[in-house]
Structure 1
Amino acid sequence: MTIHRMLARLAALAALALFAQPAFAAECLLGAPGTTQRVEVSDTGRAMTVHVPGGVDRIRNLPLVFLLHGSGGTGAAMLESSGLAATSDHHGFLLVAPDAGIPVERGFVWNIPGVPTITGEIPTEDDADDVAFLAGTIDWLAERGCIDPDRVYATGLSGGGRMTSWLGCVAADRFAAIAPVVGLRAGNPLPDDPQRPDPATCTPSRAMPVYAFAGADDTVNPVAGGGAGYWQYPMDAALARWAEIDGCREEPETVAVSDTIEERRYARCDGQARVVGRVVAGRGHEWVADNEAMWMFFWRYRH
Protein backbone atom coordinates (compact mmCIF):
# COMPACT_ATOMS: atom_id res chain seq x y z
CA MET A 1 0.00 0.00 0.00
CA THR A 2 1.44 3.36 -1.02
CA ILE A 3 1.72 6.23 1.42
CA HIS A 4 -0.97 8.14 -0.51
CA ARG A 5 -3.43 5.24 -0.34
CA MET A 6 -2.70 4.78 3.37
CA LEU A 7 -3.36 8.47 4.09
CA ALA A 8 -6.57 8.34 2.04
CA ARG A 9 -7.76 5.28 3.98
CA LEU A 10 -6.98 6.91 7.33
CA ALA A 11 -8.90 10.02 6.27
CA ALA A 12 -11.91 7.89 5.29
CA LEU A 13 -11.85 6.04 8.62
CA ALA A 14 -11.66 9.34 10.48
CA ALA A 15 -14.68 10.65 8.57
CA LEU A 16 -16.67 7.50 9.39
CA ALA A 17 -15.77 7.83 13.06
CA LEU A 18 -16.95 11.46 13.05
CA PHE A 19 -20.34 10.58 11.55
CA ALA A 20 -20.69 7.68 13.99
CA GLN A 21 -20.53 10.01 16.99
CA PRO A 22 -23.88 10.61 18.77
CA ALA A 23 -25.57 13.92 18.08
CA PHE A 24 -24.85 16.64 20.59
CA ALA A 25 -27.70 17.88 22.77
CA ALA A 26 -29.10 21.29 21.97
CA GLU A 27 -27.27 24.15 23.61
CA CYS A 28 -28.41 25.05 27.13
CA LEU A 29 -29.35 28.72 26.96
CA LEU A 30 -30.62 29.68 30.40
CA GLY A 31 -28.52 32.77 31.08
CA ALA A 32 -25.18 33.44 32.70
CA PRO A 33 -24.14 31.77 35.98
CA GLY A 34 -25.54 33.57 39.00
CA THR A 35 -28.54 35.03 37.16
CA THR A 36 -32.30 34.59 37.53
CA GLN A 37 -34.75 34.94 34.64
CA ARG A 38 -38.10 33.85 33.30
CA VAL A 39 -37.88 31.04 30.77
CA GLU A 40 -40.66 29.75 28.55
CA VAL A 41 -40.85 25.98 28.12
CA SER A 42 -41.40 25.19 24.47
CA ASP A 43 -44.73 23.60 23.46
CA THR A 44 -46.34 24.11 26.89
CA GLY A 45 -47.24 27.78 26.80
CA ARG A 46 -46.02 28.03 30.39
CA ALA A 47 -43.05 29.79 31.94
CA MET A 48 -40.83 29.24 34.94
CA THR A 49 -38.41 31.30 36.98
CA VAL A 50 -34.91 29.82 36.71
CA HIS A 51 -31.86 30.52 38.84
CA VAL A 52 -28.57 29.46 37.27
CA PRO A 53 -25.98 28.77 39.98
CA GLY A 54 -23.05 31.12 40.23
CA GLY A 55 -19.56 29.73 40.08
CA VAL A 56 -20.21 26.93 37.57
CA ASP A 57 -17.93 26.86 34.53
CA ARG A 58 -20.72 25.76 32.21
CA ILE A 59 -24.39 24.97 32.40
CA ARG A 60 -24.39 21.27 31.58
CA ASN A 61 -25.62 18.13 33.37
CA LEU A 62 -26.43 20.04 36.57
CA PRO A 63 -28.59 18.62 39.36
CA LEU A 64 -32.09 20.12 39.26
CA VAL A 65 -34.24 21.24 42.19
CA PHE A 66 -37.87 22.24 41.61
CA LEU A 67 -39.16 24.82 44.11
CA LEU A 68 -42.97 24.83 44.27
CA HIS A 69 -44.82 27.83 45.66
CA GLY A 70 -47.68 27.80 48.13
CA SER A 71 -51.34 28.11 47.18
CA GLY A 72 -52.07 31.50 45.65
CA GLY A 73 -48.38 32.26 45.19
CA THR A 74 -45.94 32.46 42.29
CA GLY A 75 -42.63 30.85 41.49
CA ALA A 76 -40.78 34.16 41.46
CA ALA A 77 -41.99 35.12 44.93
CA MET A 78 -41.20 31.65 46.27
CA LEU A 79 -37.67 31.82 44.92
CA GLU A 80 -37.09 35.12 46.66
CA SER A 81 -38.53 34.13 50.04
CA SER A 82 -36.97 30.65 50.34
CA GLY A 83 -33.33 31.73 50.15
CA LEU A 84 -32.56 28.65 48.05
CA ALA A 85 -30.76 30.68 45.37
CA ALA A 86 -27.80 31.12 47.72
CA THR A 87 -27.74 27.35 48.32
CA SER A 88 -27.85 26.82 44.55
CA ASP A 89 -24.85 29.11 44.12
CA HIS A 90 -22.94 27.33 46.86
CA HIS A 91 -23.55 23.79 45.63
CA GLY A 92 -24.06 24.21 41.89
CA PHE A 93 -27.59 22.95 41.24
CA LEU A 94 -30.11 24.46 38.83
CA LEU A 95 -33.12 25.91 40.67
CA VAL A 96 -36.46 26.07 38.86
CA ALA A 97 -39.52 27.76 40.38
CA PRO A 98 -42.55 27.29 38.09
CA ASP A 99 -46.03 28.72 38.45
CA ALA A 100 -48.80 26.22 39.13
CA GLY A 101 -51.35 25.55 36.42
CA ILE A 102 -54.60 26.82 37.97
CA PRO A 103 -54.93 30.63 38.23
CA VAL A 104 -56.45 32.03 41.42
CA GLU A 105 -56.62 35.76 42.20
CA ARG A 106 -53.07 37.08 41.58
CA GLY A 107 -51.35 33.71 41.88
CA PHE A 108 -51.79 30.02 41.15
CA VAL A 109 -52.68 26.70 42.80
CA TRP A 110 -51.48 23.17 42.05
CA ASN A 111 -53.61 20.46 40.51
CA ILE A 112 -53.69 17.48 42.88
CA PRO A 113 -56.49 15.23 41.60
CA GLY A 114 -59.26 14.58 44.09
CA VAL A 115 -58.09 17.23 46.59
CA PRO A 116 -59.78 20.65 46.82
CA THR A 117 -57.67 23.76 46.38
CA ILE A 118 -57.87 26.79 48.69
CA THR A 119 -60.96 27.83 46.71
CA GLY A 120 -62.74 24.68 47.95
CA GLU A 121 -63.04 23.32 44.41
CA ILE A 122 -61.65 19.99 43.27
CA PRO A 123 -59.61 20.26 40.03
CA THR A 124 -61.32 18.94 36.92
CA GLU A 125 -60.07 17.36 33.70
CA ASP A 126 -60.16 20.82 32.13
CA ASP A 127 -57.48 22.12 34.51
CA ALA A 128 -53.80 22.03 33.62
CA ASP A 129 -51.95 18.79 34.38
CA ASP A 130 -49.09 19.97 36.61
CA VAL A 131 -47.40 16.55 36.83
CA ALA A 132 -47.23 16.38 33.04
CA PHE A 133 -45.88 19.94 32.88
CA LEU A 134 -43.11 19.26 35.40
CA ALA A 135 -42.19 15.99 33.66
CA GLY A 136 -42.12 17.84 30.34
CA THR A 137 -39.88 20.50 31.87
CA ILE A 138 -37.43 17.81 32.98
CA ASP A 139 -37.37 16.42 29.43
CA TRP A 140 -36.98 19.90 27.92
CA LEU A 141 -33.99 20.71 30.14
CA ALA A 142 -32.41 17.27 29.65
CA GLU A 143 -32.69 17.46 25.86
CA ARG A 144 -30.67 20.68 25.99
CA GLY A 145 -28.01 19.14 28.17
CA CYS A 146 -28.78 21.50 31.06
CA ILE A 147 -29.47 18.85 33.71
CA ASP A 148 -28.68 15.33 34.78
CA PRO A 149 -32.11 13.62 34.62
CA ASP A 150 -30.99 11.14 37.29
CA ARG A 151 -30.52 13.96 39.81
CA VAL A 152 -33.90 15.73 39.90
CA TYR A 153 -35.44 16.75 43.25
CA ALA A 154 -38.51 18.63 44.47
CA THR A 155 -39.37 20.82 47.43
CA GLY A 156 -42.23 23.20 48.09
CA LEU A 157 -44.10 25.23 50.68
CA SER A 158 -47.61 24.48 51.96
CA GLY A 159 -49.67 23.71 48.84
CA GLY A 160 -46.34 23.32 47.07
CA GLY A 161 -45.39 20.85 49.79
CA ARG A 162 -48.53 18.85 49.07
CA MET A 163 -47.67 18.95 45.35
CA THR A 164 -44.12 17.82 46.17
CA SER A 165 -45.59 14.90 48.12
CA TRP A 166 -47.87 14.08 45.18
CA LEU A 167 -44.87 13.97 42.84
CA GLY A 168 -43.31 11.39 45.17
CA CYS A 169 -46.49 9.33 44.91
CA VAL A 170 -47.04 9.44 41.14
CA ALA A 171 -43.71 10.39 39.54
CA ALA A 172 -41.10 8.42 41.46
CA ASP A 173 -39.50 7.50 38.14
CA ARG A 174 -38.64 11.17 37.56
CA PHE A 175 -37.62 12.40 41.04
CA ALA A 176 -34.71 11.08 43.10
CA ALA A 177 -35.92 12.56 46.43
CA ILE A 178 -38.48 15.02 47.83
CA ALA A 179 -38.54 17.53 50.70
CA PRO A 180 -41.99 18.99 51.47
CA VAL A 181 -42.10 22.05 53.75
CA VAL A 182 -45.18 22.45 56.02
CA GLY A 183 -47.10 20.25 53.60
CA LEU A 184 -46.11 16.59 53.88
CA ARG A 185 -48.70 14.15 52.52
CA ALA A 186 -48.64 10.45 51.66
CA GLY A 187 -51.68 10.35 49.42
CA ASN A 188 -55.17 11.73 49.80
CA PRO A 189 -57.06 11.36 53.11
CA LEU A 190 -59.28 8.32 53.44
CA PRO A 191 -62.84 9.40 52.58
CA ASP A 192 -64.30 7.71 55.67
CA ASP A 193 -61.38 8.55 57.99
CA PRO A 194 -59.51 11.74 57.00
CA GLN A 195 -57.13 11.25 59.94
CA ARG A 196 -55.37 8.56 57.88
CA PRO A 197 -53.90 8.55 54.36
CA ASP A 198 -55.55 6.38 51.71
CA PRO A 199 -52.90 3.78 50.66
CA ALA A 200 -54.53 3.39 47.25
CA THR A 201 -53.72 7.02 46.34
CA CYS A 202 -49.94 6.80 46.84
CA THR A 203 -48.25 3.82 45.18
CA PRO A 204 -44.85 4.98 43.88
CA SER A 205 -42.88 2.73 41.56
CA ARG A 206 -39.86 2.66 43.88
CA ALA A 207 -38.75 3.69 47.36
CA MET A 208 -38.83 7.48 47.65
CA PRO A 209 -36.44 9.31 50.04
CA VAL A 210 -38.41 11.92 52.03
CA TYR A 211 -37.18 14.80 54.19
CA ALA A 212 -40.12 16.81 55.58
CA PHE A 213 -40.00 20.10 57.50
CA ALA A 214 -42.70 21.53 59.77
CA GLY A 215 -43.28 24.29 62.31
CA ALA A 216 -44.51 23.18 65.74
CA ASP A 217 -46.85 26.20 65.94
CA ASP A 218 -48.38 25.75 62.48
CA THR A 219 -52.17 26.28 62.68
CA VAL A 220 -52.84 25.85 58.95
CA ASN A 221 -51.33 22.37 58.69
CA PRO A 222 -50.92 21.37 62.35
CA VAL A 223 -48.28 18.75 63.07
CA ALA A 224 -50.87 16.88 65.15
CA GLY A 225 -53.45 16.95 62.32
CA GLY A 226 -56.62 18.88 61.65
CA GLY A 227 -56.60 22.35 60.14
CA ALA A 228 -58.07 22.94 56.70
CA GLY A 229 -60.25 20.25 55.14
CA TYR A 230 -57.56 19.15 52.72
CA TRP A 231 -54.95 18.60 55.47
CA GLN A 232 -56.46 16.59 58.35
CA TYR A 233 -54.11 13.68 59.02
CA PRO A 234 -51.05 14.31 61.24
CA MET A 235 -47.43 14.51 60.15
CA ASP A 236 -46.56 11.29 61.97
CA ALA A 237 -49.22 9.44 59.99
CA ALA A 238 -47.70 10.71 56.73
CA LEU A 239 -44.18 9.77 57.86
CA ALA A 240 -45.31 6.31 58.93
CA ARG A 241 -47.03 5.74 55.59
CA TRP A 242 -43.90 6.80 53.66
CA ALA A 243 -41.85 4.45 55.85
CA GLU A 244 -44.27 1.65 54.97
CA ILE A 245 -44.05 2.51 51.26
CA ASP A 246 -40.24 2.54 51.43
CA GLY A 247 -40.04 -0.74 53.29
CA CYS A 248 -38.25 0.73 56.31
CA ARG A 249 -37.33 -2.09 58.68
CA GLU A 250 -36.68 -0.24 61.95
CA GLU A 251 -38.89 1.61 64.38
CA PRO A 252 -38.47 5.40 64.11
CA GLU A 253 -35.79 7.13 66.14
CA THR A 254 -36.49 10.57 67.64
CA VAL A 255 -33.39 12.77 67.77
CA ALA A 256 -32.96 16.25 69.30
CA VAL A 257 -30.93 18.14 66.69
CA SER A 258 -30.86 21.25 68.88
CA ASP A 259 -32.85 22.88 71.69
CA THR A 260 -35.54 23.85 69.16
CA ILE A 261 -35.32 21.15 66.49
CA GLU A 262 -36.39 17.52 66.69
CA GLU A 263 -36.28 14.87 63.97
CA ARG A 264 -38.17 11.61 63.58
CA ARG A 265 -36.06 9.26 61.46
CA TYR A 266 -36.81 5.98 59.72
CA ALA A 267 -33.82 3.97 58.44
CA ARG A 268 -32.94 0.63 56.84
CA CYS A 269 -35.36 1.31 54.00
CA ASP A 270 -35.40 -0.13 50.48
CA GLY A 271 -32.97 1.42 48.03
CA GLN A 272 -31.07 3.10 50.89
CA ALA A 273 -33.93 5.59 51.16
CA ARG A 274 -34.56 7.43 54.42
CA VAL A 275 -37.74 9.03 55.76
CA VAL A 276 -37.15 12.01 58.07
CA GLY A 277 -39.51 14.55 59.61
CA ARG A 278 -38.03 17.70 61.19
CA VAL A 279 -40.15 19.89 63.50
CA VAL A 280 -38.96 23.35 64.52
CA ALA A 281 -40.26 24.78 67.81
CA GLY A 282 -41.61 28.33 67.83
CA ARG A 283 -42.23 28.41 64.07
CA GLY A 284 -45.49 28.33 62.15
CA HIS A 285 -46.77 27.92 58.61
CA GLU A 286 -43.68 29.28 56.86
CA TRP A 287 -40.44 28.27 55.18
CA VAL A 288 -38.86 26.40 58.11
CA ALA A 289 -36.48 24.32 56.02
CA ASP A 290 -32.75 24.20 56.67
CA ASN A 291 -31.63 24.67 53.07
CA GLU A 292 -28.16 23.24 53.62
CA ALA A 293 -29.52 20.13 55.35
CA MET A 294 -32.08 19.72 52.56
CA TRP A 295 -29.45 19.85 49.84
CA MET A 296 -27.16 17.40 51.66
CA PHE A 297 -30.12 15.01 51.86
CA PHE A 298 -30.83 15.44 48.13
CA TRP A 299 -27.16 15.10 47.21
CA ARG A 300 -26.91 11.49 48.37
CA TYR A 301 -29.68 10.26 46.04
CA ARG A 302 -29.98 9.64 42.31
CA HIS A 303 -32.04 7.28 40.19
Structure 2
Amino acid sequence: MVVFRLLITFALCFVAGVARAECRPGSIEALPERAMLHLPAAGVTGPVPLVILLHGSTGTGAEMLRDSHLAETADRHGFVVAAPDGGIATDRGFVWNIPGVPTVTGSMPARDARDDVRYLTGLIDRLVATGCVDGARVYATGLSGGGRMTSWLGCVVARRFAAIAPVVGLRAGRPLTSNVSRADPATCRSTAPLPVLAFAGDADTTNPITGGGAPYWQYSQAAALQRWAVLNGCSDPYARNLGATVYEQGYARCQHGTSVAARVTRGGPHSWSVVDNEAMWAFFSRHRR
Protein backbone atom coordinates (compact mmCIF):
# COMPACT_ATOMS: atom_id res chain seq x y z
CA MET A 1 0.00 0.00 0.00
CA VAL A 2 2.85 2.37 0.85
CA VAL A 3 4.51 1.59 -2.47
CA PHE A 4 1.21 2.18 -4.28
CA ARG A 5 0.82 5.59 -2.61
CA LEU A 6 4.37 6.50 -3.53
CA LEU A 7 3.70 5.53 -7.15
CA ILE A 8 0.53 7.67 -7.20
CA THR A 9 2.41 10.61 -5.69
CA PHE A 10 5.20 10.24 -8.25
CA ALA A 11 2.67 10.02 -11.09
CA LEU A 12 0.88 13.17 -9.93
CA CYS A 13 4.16 15.04 -9.68
CA PHE A 14 5.11 13.82 -13.15
CA VAL A 15 1.76 14.97 -14.62
CA ALA A 16 2.10 18.35 -12.91
CA GLY A 17 5.61 18.66 -14.30
CA VAL A 18 4.40 17.85 -17.78
CA ALA A 19 1.60 20.41 -17.45
CA ARG A 20 4.08 23.06 -16.43
CA ALA A 21 6.42 22.13 -19.25
CA GLU A 22 3.65 22.61 -21.81
CA CYS A 23 3.94 26.39 -21.39
CA ARG A 24 7.20 27.58 -22.90
CA PRO A 25 7.69 31.27 -22.04
CA GLY A 26 10.99 31.13 -23.88
CA SER A 27 9.03 30.56 -27.05
CA ILE A 28 7.21 33.84 -26.43
CA GLU A 29 10.53 35.59 -25.93
CA ALA A 30 11.62 34.30 -29.34
CA LEU A 31 8.61 35.71 -31.21
CA PRO A 32 9.36 38.73 -33.43
CA GLU A 33 6.37 40.50 -31.81
CA ARG A 34 7.90 40.17 -28.31
CA ALA A 35 8.35 43.94 -27.96
CA MET A 36 4.58 44.35 -28.34
CA LEU A 37 3.62 41.71 -25.77
CA HIS A 38 2.91 42.19 -22.09
CA LEU A 39 3.06 39.16 -19.82
CA PRO A 40 1.35 39.38 -16.41
CA ALA A 41 3.65 40.36 -13.56
CA ALA A 42 3.08 37.07 -11.73
CA GLY A 43 4.44 35.19 -14.74
CA VAL A 44 2.84 32.67 -17.08
CA THR A 45 2.68 28.98 -16.32
CA GLY A 46 -0.08 28.76 -18.94
CA PRO A 47 -2.36 28.54 -20.63
CA VAL A 48 -3.80 31.98 -19.83
CA PRO A 49 -6.22 34.33 -21.65
CA LEU A 50 -5.02 36.64 -24.42
CA VAL A 51 -6.27 40.15 -25.25
CA ILE A 52 -5.39 41.50 -28.70
CA LEU A 53 -5.12 45.29 -28.36
CA LEU A 54 -5.23 47.32 -31.59
CA HIS A 55 -4.03 50.91 -31.83
CA GLY A 56 -5.89 53.77 -33.50
CA SER A 57 -5.08 55.08 -36.97
CA THR A 58 -1.53 56.50 -37.23
CA GLY A 59 -0.71 55.04 -33.83
CA THR A 60 1.55 52.19 -32.72
CA GLY A 61 1.12 49.13 -30.55
CA ALA A 62 3.59 50.46 -28.01
CA GLU A 63 1.62 53.71 -27.67
CA MET A 64 -1.65 51.81 -27.31
CA LEU A 65 -0.24 49.54 -24.63
CA ARG A 66 0.96 52.61 -22.72
CA ASP A 67 -2.16 54.73 -23.09
CA SER A 68 -4.75 52.01 -22.43
CA HIS A 69 -3.22 50.88 -19.12
CA LEU A 70 -4.33 47.36 -19.99
CA ALA A 71 -0.94 46.09 -18.83
CA GLU A 72 -1.89 46.97 -15.26
CA THR A 73 -5.23 45.22 -15.70
CA ALA A 74 -3.40 42.17 -17.07
CA ASP A 75 -1.12 42.13 -14.03
CA ARG A 76 -4.15 42.10 -11.70
CA HIS A 77 -6.02 39.38 -13.55
CA GLY A 78 -3.31 37.28 -15.17
CA PHE A 79 -3.72 37.58 -18.92
CA VAL A 80 -1.39 38.33 -21.83
CA VAL A 81 -1.77 41.49 -23.93
CA ALA A 82 -0.57 41.61 -27.53
CA ALA A 83 -0.43 45.11 -29.05
CA PRO A 84 0.88 44.80 -32.62
CA ASP A 85 1.34 47.49 -35.27
CA GLY A 86 -1.01 47.83 -38.22
CA GLY A 87 0.14 46.60 -41.61
CA ILE A 88 0.12 49.94 -43.46
CA ALA A 89 2.80 52.49 -42.58
CA THR A 90 1.93 56.20 -42.70
CA ASP A 91 3.95 59.36 -42.12
CA ARG A 92 3.36 58.74 -38.46
CA GLY A 93 2.57 55.28 -37.16
CA PHE A 94 0.39 52.69 -38.86
CA VAL A 95 -3.17 52.02 -40.00
CA TRP A 96 -5.11 48.78 -40.35
CA ASN A 97 -6.03 47.12 -43.62
CA ILE A 98 -9.82 46.74 -43.72
CA PRO A 99 -10.61 45.62 -47.29
CA GLY A 100 -12.84 47.98 -49.25
CA VAL A 101 -12.71 50.69 -46.58
CA PRO A 102 -10.60 53.86 -46.96
CA THR A 103 -8.10 54.61 -44.22
CA VAL A 104 -7.91 57.97 -42.44
CA THR A 105 -5.54 59.08 -45.20
CA GLY A 106 -8.56 58.98 -47.53
CA SER A 107 -7.11 56.27 -49.77
CA MET A 108 -7.99 52.60 -50.08
CA PRO A 109 -5.45 50.03 -48.84
CA ALA A 110 -3.02 49.11 -51.61
CA ARG A 111 -3.46 45.73 -53.25
CA ASP A 112 -0.13 44.57 -51.86
CA ALA A 113 -0.83 45.78 -48.32
CA ARG A 114 -0.41 43.21 -45.57
CA ASP A 115 -3.50 41.11 -44.93
CA ASP A 116 -4.06 42.15 -41.32
CA VAL A 117 -6.71 39.50 -40.64
CA ARG A 118 -4.25 36.80 -41.67
CA TYR A 119 -1.45 38.46 -39.73
CA LEU A 120 -3.49 38.75 -36.50
CA THR A 121 -4.86 35.21 -36.65
CA GLY A 122 -1.32 34.01 -37.35
CA LEU A 123 -0.09 35.90 -34.30
CA ILE A 124 -2.76 34.20 -32.21
CA ASP A 125 -1.70 30.81 -33.60
CA ARG A 126 1.95 31.46 -32.71
CA LEU A 127 1.05 32.49 -29.17
CA VAL A 128 -1.24 29.51 -28.63
CA ALA A 129 1.52 27.22 -29.95
CA THR A 130 3.78 28.26 -27.07
CA GLY A 131 1.39 26.52 -24.68
CA CYS A 132 1.11 29.72 -22.65
CA VAL A 133 -2.07 31.10 -24.25
CA ASP A 134 -5.51 29.50 -24.12
CA GLY A 135 -7.00 29.43 -27.61
CA ALA A 136 -10.51 29.30 -26.13
CA ARG A 137 -10.00 32.59 -24.28
CA VAL A 138 -8.81 35.02 -26.94
CA TYR A 139 -10.37 38.50 -26.98
CA ALA A 140 -9.97 41.61 -29.11
CA THR A 141 -10.29 45.31 -28.42
CA GLY A 142 -8.99 48.43 -30.10
CA LEU A 143 -9.29 52.20 -30.26
CA SER A 144 -10.90 54.10 -33.17
CA GLY A 145 -9.35 52.55 -36.30
CA GLY A 146 -8.36 49.66 -34.04
CA GLY A 147 -11.98 49.44 -32.93
CA ARG A 148 -13.07 49.24 -36.55
CA MET A 149 -10.45 46.53 -37.14
CA THR A 150 -11.73 44.69 -34.05
CA SER A 151 -15.24 44.85 -35.48
CA TRP A 152 -13.97 43.53 -38.82
CA LEU A 153 -12.33 40.58 -37.10
CA GLY A 154 -15.71 39.81 -35.56
CA CYS A 155 -17.32 39.96 -38.99
CA VAL A 156 -14.90 37.63 -40.76
CA VAL A 157 -13.18 35.38 -38.18
CA ALA A 158 -15.60 35.34 -35.23
CA ARG A 159 -14.69 31.76 -34.34
CA ARG A 160 -11.19 32.88 -33.36
CA PHE A 161 -12.47 35.09 -30.53
CA ALA A 162 -14.51 34.52 -27.39
CA ALA A 163 -15.67 38.18 -27.30
CA ILE A 164 -14.80 41.62 -28.70
CA ALA A 165 -14.90 45.14 -27.25
CA PRO A 166 -14.39 47.91 -29.84
CA VAL A 167 -13.63 51.37 -28.40
CA VAL A 168 -15.00 54.48 -30.18
CA GLY A 169 -15.10 52.35 -33.33
CA LEU A 170 -17.94 49.82 -33.32
CA ARG A 171 -18.89 48.76 -36.85
CA ALA A 172 -20.82 45.89 -38.42
CA GLY A 173 -19.47 45.93 -41.95
CA ARG A 174 -19.34 48.70 -44.54
CA PRO A 175 -22.10 51.29 -45.00
CA LEU A 176 -24.83 50.19 -47.40
CA THR A 177 -24.21 51.83 -50.79
CA SER A 178 -27.89 52.62 -51.33
CA ASN A 179 -28.36 53.95 -47.80
CA VAL A 180 -25.21 54.88 -45.86
CA SER A 181 -27.21 55.24 -42.64
CA ARG A 182 -27.42 51.43 -42.52
CA ALA A 183 -24.81 48.68 -42.30
CA ASP A 184 -24.51 46.48 -45.37
CA PRO A 185 -25.41 42.98 -44.08
CA ALA A 186 -23.48 41.36 -46.93
CA THR A 187 -20.22 42.77 -45.53
CA CYS A 188 -20.61 41.37 -42.02
CA ARG A 189 -21.78 37.79 -41.80
CA SER A 190 -20.37 36.55 -38.52
CA THR A 191 -19.45 32.86 -38.74
CA ALA A 192 -20.31 32.18 -35.09
CA PRO A 193 -22.14 33.84 -32.18
CA LEU A 194 -19.91 36.54 -30.71
CA PRO A 195 -20.48 38.63 -27.56
CA VAL A 196 -19.94 42.36 -28.16
CA LEU A 197 -19.38 45.19 -25.68
CA ALA A 198 -18.51 48.58 -27.19
CA PHE A 199 -17.32 51.71 -25.41
CA ALA A 200 -17.96 55.23 -26.72
CA GLY A 201 -18.42 58.88 -25.80
CA ASP A 202 -21.39 60.97 -26.89
CA ALA A 203 -19.12 64.00 -27.47
CA ASP A 204 -16.97 62.11 -29.98
CA THR A 205 -16.79 64.23 -33.15
CA THR A 206 -14.38 61.89 -34.99
CA ASN A 207 -16.60 58.79 -34.94
CA PRO A 208 -19.91 60.27 -33.75
CA ILE A 209 -22.26 57.71 -32.24
CA THR A 210 -25.12 59.29 -34.19
CA GLY A 211 -23.36 58.58 -37.50
CA GLY A 212 -22.00 60.80 -40.24
CA GLY A 213 -18.36 61.82 -40.25
CA ALA A 214 -15.81 60.17 -42.52
CA PRO A 215 -16.79 57.89 -45.44
CA TYR A 216 -15.78 54.79 -43.46
CA TRP A 217 -18.17 55.74 -40.65
CA GLN A 218 -21.61 57.05 -41.75
CA TYR A 219 -24.09 54.80 -39.96
CA SER A 220 -24.81 55.19 -36.25
CA GLN A 221 -23.65 53.09 -33.33
CA ALA A 222 -27.29 52.08 -32.85
CA ALA A 223 -27.35 50.67 -36.40
CA ALA A 224 -24.18 48.69 -35.68
CA LEU A 225 -25.67 47.32 -32.46
CA GLN A 226 -28.81 46.33 -34.30
CA ARG A 227 -26.82 44.36 -36.87
CA TRP A 228 -24.82 42.56 -34.17
CA ALA A 229 -28.12 41.79 -32.42
CA VAL A 230 -29.35 40.09 -35.59
CA LEU A 231 -26.11 38.12 -35.90
CA ASN A 232 -26.38 36.96 -32.29
CA GLY A 233 -30.11 36.24 -32.37
CA CYS A 234 -31.01 38.85 -29.74
CA SER A 235 -34.64 39.84 -29.17
CA ASP A 236 -34.93 42.48 -26.43
CA PRO A 237 -33.53 46.01 -26.90
CA TYR A 238 -32.86 47.92 -23.68
CA ALA A 239 -31.33 51.10 -22.30
CA ARG A 240 -30.25 51.75 -18.72
CA ASN A 241 -28.18 54.15 -16.67
CA LEU A 242 -25.07 52.69 -15.07
CA GLY A 243 -24.30 55.88 -13.15
CA ALA A 244 -24.38 59.64 -13.42
CA THR A 245 -22.01 59.70 -16.41
CA VAL A 246 -22.46 56.33 -18.14
CA TYR A 247 -25.42 54.66 -19.80
CA GLU A 248 -25.73 51.38 -21.66
CA GLN A 249 -27.70 50.49 -24.77
CA GLY A 250 -27.97 46.96 -26.01
CA TYR A 251 -29.88 43.78 -26.63
CA ALA A 252 -30.74 40.99 -24.22
CA ARG A 253 -32.09 37.46 -24.66
CA CYS A 254 -29.44 36.59 -27.21
CA GLN A 255 -28.67 33.08 -28.36
CA HIS A 256 -25.80 30.91 -27.16
CA GLY A 257 -25.15 33.04 -24.07
CA THR A 258 -24.03 36.06 -26.07
CA SER A 259 -24.83 39.72 -25.46
CA VAL A 260 -24.65 42.95 -27.45
CA ALA A 261 -24.19 46.32 -25.75
CA ALA A 262 -22.48 49.70 -25.85
CA ARG A 263 -21.48 51.73 -22.81
CA VAL A 264 -21.55 55.43 -23.52
CA THR A 265 -19.89 58.12 -21.42
CA ARG A 266 -21.82 61.37 -21.33
CA GLY A 267 -19.52 64.09 -22.60
CA GLY A 268 -16.93 61.43 -23.43
CA PRO A 269 -14.37 62.25 -26.18
CA HIS A 270 -12.69 60.20 -28.88
CA SER A 271 -10.19 58.47 -26.58
CA TRP A 272 -9.60 55.48 -24.35
CA SER A 273 -10.84 57.55 -21.41
CA VAL A 274 -14.37 56.24 -22.08
CA VAL A 275 -13.28 52.70 -21.15
CA ASP A 276 -13.59 51.04 -17.77
CA ASN A 277 -10.82 48.44 -18.03
CA GLU A 278 -12.16 46.42 -15.13
CA ALA A 279 -15.62 46.28 -16.71
CA MET A 280 -14.07 45.25 -20.03
CA TRP A 281 -12.13 42.44 -18.41
CA ALA A 282 -15.18 41.31 -16.40
CA PHE A 283 -17.07 41.07 -19.70
CA PHE A 284 -14.27 39.18 -21.44
CA SER A 285 -13.77 36.76 -18.57
CA ARG A 286 -17.38 35.59 -18.72
CA HIS A 287 -16.88 34.14 -22.19
CA ARG A 288 -14.84 31.41 -23.79
CA ARG A 289 -14.97 29.87 -27.23
Deviation string, structure 1 residues 125-172 (Cα, Å, up to 9, x no partner): 310001101111111011111200010000000000000000100011
What's the offset of the Cα at 1:55?
2.0
Distance 1:99 1:89 in 2: 22
Deviation string, structure 1 residues 221-262 (Cα, Å, up to 9, x no partner): 111111111111000000011001100022x11110001100
Match of 2:243 in 1: 258
Taking a change above 3 Å as real, the CA distance of residues 95 and 108 of structure 1, as seen in their structure-2 partners, is same
Task: Give the secondary structure class of the aligned counterpart of 1:114.
Answer: coil
Taking a change above 3 Å as real, the CA distance of residues 25 and 132 of structure 1, as seen in their structure-2 partners, is farther
The reply to whether residue 62 of structure 1 matches residue 44 of structure 2 is: no
What's the offset of the Cα at 1:25?
4.9
Task: Give the secondary structure class of the aligned counterpart of 1:180.
Answer: strand
Q: TM-score, length-normalised on structure 1?
A: 0.86
The reply to whether residue 278 of structure 1 matches residue 263 of structure 2 is: yes
Comparing 156-165 and 228-237, the one that deviates more: 228-237
Distance 1:26 1:145 in 2: 4
Q: TM-score, length-normalised on structure 2?
A: 0.90
Amino acid at match of 1:40: P
Task: Give the secondary structure class of the aligned counterpart of 1:40.
Answer: coil
Aligned-residue CA RMSD (Å) = 2.0
What's the offset of the Cα at 1:28?
2.4
Distance 2:288 2:111 in 1: 32
Deviation string, structure 1 residues 242-296 (Cα, Å, up to 9, x no partner): 001100022x111100011000121111110000111101211111111000000
Higher helix share: 2
Match of 1:293 in 2: 279
1:110-149 → structure 2 map (5 Å cutoff): 110-149=96-135
Distance 1:299 1:61 in 2: 14
> How many residue pairs align between the two structures?
272
Which of 147, 150, 175 matches 1:189? Answer: 175
- Which has more radius of gyration? 1
What's the offset of the Cα at 1:116?
0.1
What's the offset of the Cα at 1:114?
0.4
Match of 1:29 in 2: 26
Amino acid at match of 1:74: T
Distance 1:259 1:200 in 2: 38
Amino acid at match of 1:138: I
Match of 1:96 in 2: 82
Match of 1:11 in 2: none
Deviation string, structure 1 residues 206-231 (Cα, Å, up to 9, x no partner): 11100001011000011111111111
Unpaired runs of at least 5, structure 1: 1-13, 32-36, 42-46
CA contact (8 A) 2:168 2:271 kept: yes
